[in-house]
Chains A and B, each alone.
Chain A
């Protein structure tokens, strides 16, 4: 894989967001995969997807664009959504001038919180009557924040050592953060899940239902491929099953494992097979 081209964009609120563009070299389809990373909206980096998977997309002829978005708790959820949407809109408006692409078609792809963002972006696109994605790829994603499991202490994380307050204070920055490597910020998420305050960090005093997509909205969504593991300790499997029922043209890949981001381990078969299946599904749908 060649080094990506990096573009920068400054939001209305003066937050600088970077994007990495990987161009497909052969059998170009002129379709872009827009990727949002995971990390509970508290941590994570745009270049977290293992190279091997990016190459899968590139070899199949898709361009791959990985986007920054601001992270909580420095930025609250409305700001995160607004910034991500501005960035997305900037891409759609300037894909020829700035990015030198002819790609009017695109796919939204997210892992975990990135999949949540993809769903929310899709809803915002519908509201703004903007150009819709051809499909959505959701790996262990969710579309609601008002789930009980998200708002109560998490058993799996409580098995880890408890995170002291002082180490959290050191992490939180005075200004918006858009690049949060796991080794520096993961403990924010651990603590939030241990205490059941995760969604509070995102929404503040606002009602999380406001940031959840109700069933009617999902019915208007484009074809969506959903992937989740049955014993996911972070995002319960049933959430993905519900999405499968509600989104009309959707397909579910089930991984029979006790893991959240199972595709992190590139030596593991299930990751490789999943991406192969996603690409095959894309060929069929678009």
Chain B
């Protein structure tokens, strides 16, 4: 309803529009009576103001300027002024202001009753609201009975289509998938995006996109409404309503509002079910990896239930994240979200793959045939790089350890391999790093030993004693050897004066009686320093 419409009402019949003619199409959402100039406190956009001029009579020109600016800012649709004994003619100042601000000014005589104007304006508005609420209720009831039938997502979209008489799609942006009542409409080029202003009883945030539908033949231009479906955990889903053939109405919005709420509940339900399955699967895969299935028959059963029993070979890949800056507070959801993105990427890259997830770790088991190559650091690096490019690892570093290629009974062995590899990664590397078990080299020898105490037997007691007695000197010696016996580099690494380093090395020479030209002796010390790290790291892990 606009000003043009109300001028045709019986109560305003024969009245004059004396200013603001260009605002004649202003929409009307309500009506109110002005008794004082405090309109900022109660005025609302789309209202028509009724006044007897009593409130305005004492205002100076500058006060009128301020008052009409307020009307304009609020978005008042029109002003109706009653002429009475007080004022027989509306001042030209007010006429000018109404013209300036495109606020239609309607003059009524004193025998026109406010009551009849208010009733005639409010009647259709109340009816419209009632219609909208009726529609809302109607759709709500229909959807409630639909929910009882446990429909598929496709079926739900088809029901929406019936209600709204337009095609609809549901986009999952995390997975890059889309289901639609008309698959031809899935491939679009977005030309422009604008926000949709909120209508009555509309709570979600809508966008209107001008698009070209590339999948139709010939291509067609169109508009679509998109609304993100708020989700408890992940904001992945977007509902698209294709506005063909024409724009959607307020009533359609009642359907969409309901649809979004309904989808919210459906997605939540699916999420809870999937979480349950996820936990179950996690437990089963945990048993498989940790050698808690004793009979081959059980292993076969588990592999079958997990759907990774088609090929002969298996490989385990472990990815652990750790925070770049431990002091930073990165929000507790970021870790699971990051792990989830990694999972999605791997699952879309490989066909026969399952995963187990823990706090900061995700472990994949990949099943592949004779014809396929096993995964190596290069192929994993490509995947990780594409995630890095998407900005996934802003807060985290990753360690990836890769097992060797095994057969089904050796899956627990592959798991031990990735855990051992992870130990080395955590001790010796401090940034993104991918390490296959096979490249561990000599470390395998030590990692295979079950007890850390066993490692001590590989260290000469002379070196062990020296480290025990002179920890600082041992650190200097280690750094000196790591830098290829470079005094300057050693001093830089240890924040010491080069002279101090020289002095310490001389002292070490005396104490240990080392010949720095003898590679055998140096190798002993080098290996011992690695072993100490393994032993110390092991203690912390225990």
A residues 141-170 with Cβ under 8 Å of B? 159-164, 167
Q: Does A258 contact B (CB under 8 A)?
A: yes
Least CB separation from B220: chain A residue:
A160
A186 to B192 alpha-carbon distance, docked (Å): 12
**Chain B binding surface SS class:** strand
Q: Does A249 contact B (CB under 8 A)?
A: no
B residues 189-211 with Cβ under 8 Å of A? 189-193, 210
Is B212 in contact with A160, judged by CB distance below 8 angstroms? yes
Q: Which of these, A160, A162, A163, A182, contacts B214 with CB under 8 Å?
A: A182
Least CB separation from A233: chain B residue:
B218
Is A187 in contact with B191, judged by CB distance below 8 angstroms? yes
B residues 304-354 with Cβ under 8 Å of A? none
A244 to B189 alpha-carbon distance, docked (Å): 34
Q: Does B484 contact A (CB under 8 A)?
A: no
Q: Does A265 contact B (CB under 8 A)?
A: yes
A160 to B192 alpha-carbon distance, docked (Å): 11
Q: Does A81 contact B (CB under 8 A)?
A: no
Is A159 in contact with B217, judged by CB distance below 8 angstroms? no
A186 to B212 alpha-carbon distance, docked (Å): 9
Q: Does A190 contact B (CB under 8 A)?
A: yes
Q: Does A183 contact B (CB under 8 A)?
A: yes
Please name all residues of chain B whose beta carbon is closer than 8 Å to the beta carbon of A259 when the two chains form the complex: 217-218
Please name all residues of chain A whose beta carbon is closer than 8 Å to the beta carbon of B96 when the two chains form the complex: none
Is A264 in contact with B217, judged by CB distance below 8 angstroms? yes
Q: Does A89 contact B (CB under 8 A)?
A: no
Q: Does B454 contact A (CB under 8 A)?
A: no
Least CB separation from A191: chain B residue:
B191
Q: Does B188 contact A (CB under 8 A)?
A: yes
A residues 55-88 with Cβ under 8 Å of B? none
Is B191 in contact with A258, judged by CB distance below 8 angstroms? no
Is A183 in contact with B214, judged by CB distance below 8 angstroms? yes
B residues 102-137 with Cβ under 8 Å of A? none
Please name all residues of chain A whose beta carbon is closer than 8 Å to the beta carbon of B188 when the two chains form the complex: 183
- Interface size on B (CB < 8 Å)? 14
Please name all residues of chain A whose beta carbon is closer than 8 Å to the beta carbon of B187 when the two chains form the complex: 182-183
Q: Does B221 contact A (CB under 8 A)?
A: yes
Q: How far is the CB of A65 from chain B (nearest CB, A)?
A: 23
A161 to B191 alpha-carbon distance, docked (Å): 7
CB-CB under 8 A for A167 and B217, given A161-B210, A186-B212: no
Interface bits A180-199 vs B (CB < 8 Å: 1, else 0): 00111111001000000000
Most A CB atoms within 10 A — which of B189, B192, B212, B214?
B189
Is A167 in contact with B192, judged by CB distance below 8 angstroms? yes
Is A161 in contact with B217, judged by CB distance below 8 angstroms? no
Please name all residues of chain A whose beta carbon is closer than 8 Å to the beta carbon of B191 when the two chains form the complex: 160-164, 167, 187, 190
Is B218 in contact with A160, judged by CB distance below 8 angstroms? no
A159 to B219 alpha-carbon distance, docked (Å): 12
Q: Which of these, B192, B214, B218, contacts A161 with CB under 8 Å?
A: B192
Interface bits B171-192 vs A (CB < 8 Å: 1, else 0): 0000000000000000111111
A260 to B210 alpha-carbon distance, docked (Å): 22
Please name all residues of chain B whose beta carbon is closer than 8 Å to the beta carbon of A190 when the two chains form the complex: 189, 191, 212
Is B189 in contact with A258, judged by CB distance below 8 angstroms? no
Is A187 in contact with B190, judged by CB distance below 8 angstroms? yes
A182 to B212 alpha-carbon distance, docked (Å): 10
Q: Which of these, B192, B217, B218, contacts A163 with CB under 8 Å?
A: B192
Q: Does A268 contact B (CB under 8 A)?
A: yes
Q: Which of these, B190, B193, B221, contacts A160 with CB under 8 Å?
A: B221
Least CB separation from B209: chain A residue:
A161
Q: How far is the CB of B429 from chain A (nearest CB, A)?
A: 30
A183 to B193 alpha-carbon distance, docked (Å): 14
Q: How far is the CB of A157 from chain B (nearest CB, A)?
A: 9
CB-CB under 8 A for A186 and B189, given A160-B212, A161-B210: yes
Interface bits B375-396 vs A (CB < 8 Å: 1, else 0): 0000000000000000000000
Q: List 27 A-B contacts (CB under 8 A).
A: A159-B221, A160-B191, A161-B223, A163-B192, A164-B191, A167-B191, A167-B192, A182-B189, A182-B214, A183-B187, A183-B189, A183-B214, A185-B189, A186-B189, A186-B212, A186-B214, A187-B189, A187-B190, A187-B191, A187-B212, A190-B191, A258-B218, A259-B217, A259-B218, A260-B218, A265-B217, A268-B217
B-binding residues in A (CB < 8 A): 159-164, 167, 182-187, 190, 258-260, 262, 264-265, 268
Give 8 nearest A-B pairs by CB, closest first.
A186-B189, A265-B217, A161-B210, A160-B221, A163-B191, A187-B191, A183-B189, A182-B214
Given A163-B191, A167-B192, output 18 extra A-B contacts at Cβ < 8 Å.
A159-B221, A160-B212, A160-B221, A161-B223, A164-B192, A167-B191, A167-B193, A183-B190, A183-B214, A184-B189, A185-B189, A186-B212, A186-B214, A187-B212, A190-B212, A258-B218, A262-B217, A264-B217
